[in-house]
Amino acid sequence: MSTNHIISAAVAGVEAYQVDVEVDLGQGMAGFMTLGLPAGAAIRESRTRVKSAIENCGYKFPQRRVTVNLAPAHIRKEGTAFDLPIALGILQATGALPAGALAGTLAIGELALNGRIRPVRGVLPIAARAREFGAERILVPTENGAEAAVVEGLEVLTADHITQVVDALRGGTPLPVTLPPSKGGETTGNGADLADIRGQALAKRALEIAAAGRHNLLFVGGPGTGKTMLARRLPSILPPMSQAEQIEASTVASVAGLLRPDQPLVGRPFRAPHHSVSDIALIGGSPHERPGEISLAHNGVLLLDELPEFRRSALEALRQPMEDGQVVIARARYRLTYPARAMIVASMNPCPCGYYGRPQRACACSEAAVKAYWQRVEPMLRYFDMQVAISTVTASELRDTVPAETSATVRARIDAAPKHNCMELTADASRVLATAIDRRDLSARAHDRILKVARTIANLAGEERIGTVHVAEAIEFAGGKR
């Protein structure tokens, strides 16, 4: 009897955990059994992929009872990443590979029937914990090499085909080592610039404040007023991501399988799901354990265009992530956590037809219809720090030849602003805030959000204390929410 052990790993949520792949060749009728709670069809089908890959590459598959155990056995396993370590364990058990050739090596990868090694998702969080699992190096598909190399101090070996791995382990041509990527500048936005937008001074001011303080923002305006154009330019003025933020966002993208070989670290995420998006697609927790849109926007921006058109259940599901900054998915057998600290920017019409309060065109909606329209989003309104009414751009503004302020200029102003955290108000500012709270019958939550926005406005003005003008502007942006 021959037993072999190879280090591998899997991902639950965005956290990697160690999986020991144990291969045993026993006596008795030839067969192939996988143990260790192989829950998904993909992992159960790995027996066929592994056997075909070994035989199609000219190696001998053992005509004995093959038992593969994926430990720990109490955690369910899914995906195709165990194909490569299972195949290497079998080859080592049959003597096709030297004993101990894979000591200290963590291996992951999917196998094609011809032995080609295909990329898998979740390599970045696995590489980040590889040394904790006792690995000195990691063996991954070539397409995953760049993201694994993001982790400093870890040797990253890559291969396109299982024959390359076998040849290298037998003392032949060494596998290529992927070096850490060069730290280039972060790309921001999607090429859209604030200079593209004419007029809308109030909305641009709101974008600047929101970007400086990471405040959730709601635009309210009729069709054609530029709500979506404004929202899509928010990433272009956000401050640069820290290295920790970039790795966090890239980890979520890795788990979702969205990282490209030429871009192992992502820039500021910007996600704009259609209003028909399902609850699971928005929040996460699909049968394949994929993060939802709110997590894919982690450390970036989630745009909810036409907010009232989203399913009520989807908006209700968003409330907990917006409150806690994470998505917790609890099932009978497991519990997953995804980060979800995303900045929310949303847009909506003032009424179903879009022309409520617009003097140039009469609104066709009844008061009951307008009230019902706003009731669709009422649970979400309390989570927006700022609400901005967008008016129609005038003909003179559209024809204005004076160059508008660019995103780079606004971003530089945000970067240069001091980051005071003191919430001390002047005596006059305190009276203005108290009066507004009483007259508008605003809640304690609204009080705190006004104060946070006022703090950001004071920072942009270079002021350490929060003054009357800062509070007054924050109150105007508070809207009518409770």
Torsion on CA atoms 158, 159, 160, 163, rounded to nearest 10: 180
pLDDT of 76 reads 85
Residue 50's Cβ-count burial label (10 Å; 0-12, 13-18, 19+) is buried
* Ordered per-residue pLDDT tens for the chain, 482 residues: 456 899 999 999 999 999 999 999 988 888 899 998 887 788 889 999 999 999 999 999 999 999 999 999 988 888 899 999 999 999 999 999 999 999 999 999 999 999 999 999 999 999 999 999 999 999 999 999 999 999 999 999 999 999 999 999 999 999 999 988 876 545 555 678 998 888 888 999 999 999 999 999 999 998 888 899 999 999 999 998 999 999 999 999 999 999 998 889 999 999 999 999 999 999 998 766 789 999 999 999 999 999 999 999 999 999 999 999 999 988 767 788 999 999 999 999 999 998 888 877 889 999 999 999 999 998 889 899 999 999 888 878 777 778 889 999 999 999 999 999 899 999 999 999 999 999 988 889 899 999 999 999 999 999 999 999 999 999 999 976 44
Sign of CA dihedral 239, 243, 244, 246: positive
pTM over 0.75: yes
- DSSP for 43-77? HHTHHHHHHHHHHHTTPPPPSSEEEEEEESTTS-B
Please choose, from the candidates 332, 366, 333, 334, the residue with its C-alpha nearest in 3D space to the C-alpha of residue 351: 366
Do 235 and 284 belong together in one domain?
Answer: yes
Closest CA to 302 of 344, 356, 365: 344
Check whether residue 288 and residue 358 sit in a common domain. yes
Task: Work out whether the CA dihedral 103, 107, 111, 114 comes out positive or negative.
Answer: negative
Q: Which of 374, 390, 416 represents a domain boundary (last residue)?
A: 416
**CA terminus-to-terminus distance, the chain:** 71
Phi, psi of 8 (to 5 degrees): -140, -170
Which two tokens mark 142? 């070539």
Give me the helix-helix angle, 407-416 and 201-213, nearest 10°: 40
Alpha helices in 28-161 (DSSP H): 41-44, 46-56, 83-93, 123-128, 145-148
149 plus 255 within the same structural domain? no
> Are 255 and 305 part of one and the same domain?
yes
Give me the CATH number covering residue 234. 3.40.50.300
Q: What does the alpha-carbon distance between residue 217 and residue 261 come to, in Å, rounded to a whole number?
A: 34
In a domain, 426, yes or no: no
Inside any domain, residue 429: no
Are 320 and 277 members of one domain? yes
Q: Give the chain's domain count.
A: 2
Query: Helix (H, G, I), strand (E, B), or coil: what is residue 474?
Result: helix
Q: Are residues 142 and 252 in the same domain?
A: no
Residue in the block written with tokens 């974008």 = 207
CA-closest candidate to residue 308, choices 224, 218, 229, 386: 218
By residue count, the chain amounts to 482
Tell me which of 392, 416, 440 is where a domain ends: 416
CA–CA separation, 310 and 377 (whole Å): 9
Asked if the structure places residue 439 within a domain, the reply is no
Which of 374, 392, 416 finishes a domain? Answer: 416
Please check whether residues 160 and 198 belong to one and the same domain: no
Q: Does residue 481 fall inside a structural domain? A: no
Structural contact between residues 61 and 51, judged by C-beta atoms closer than 8 angstroms? yes
Is residue 104 within 8 A of residue 135, CB to CB? The reply is yes
Alpha-carbon torsion (330, 331, 332, 333), positive or negative: negative
CATH of the domain at 60: 3.30.230.10
Which contiguous run of DSSP H or E holds residue 159? strand 155-159
Same domain, 134 and 208: no
> φ and ψ at 7, to 5 degrees?
-80, 135
Phi then psi for residue 444, to 5 deg, are -65, -35
Q: Is 422 left (phi over 0), alpha (psi -120 to 50) or beta?
A: beta
Residue 482 buriedness (CB in 10 A; 0-12 / 13-18 / 19+) = exposed
Structural domain span for residue 87:
2-169
Q: How many other C-beta atoms can be found within 10 angstroms of the C-beta atom of residue 285?
A: 21
Per-residue tokens: 125: 């969080």
215 and 157, same domain (yes or no): no
- Whether 206 and 151 map to the same domain: the answer is no
Q: Is residue 279 part of a domain?
A: yes
Considering the domain architecture, whether residues 369 and 324 belong to the same structural domain is answered as: yes
Q: Which of 380, 337, 361, 372 is nearest to 248 (CA)?
A: 337
Q: Clarify whether residues 20 and 96 are in a common domain.
A: yes
Q: Is residue 442 part of a domain?
A: no
Using DSSP, state whether 273 is helix, strand or coil.
coil
Is 308 among the domain residues?
A: yes
Is residue 286 a part of any domain in this protein?
Answer: yes
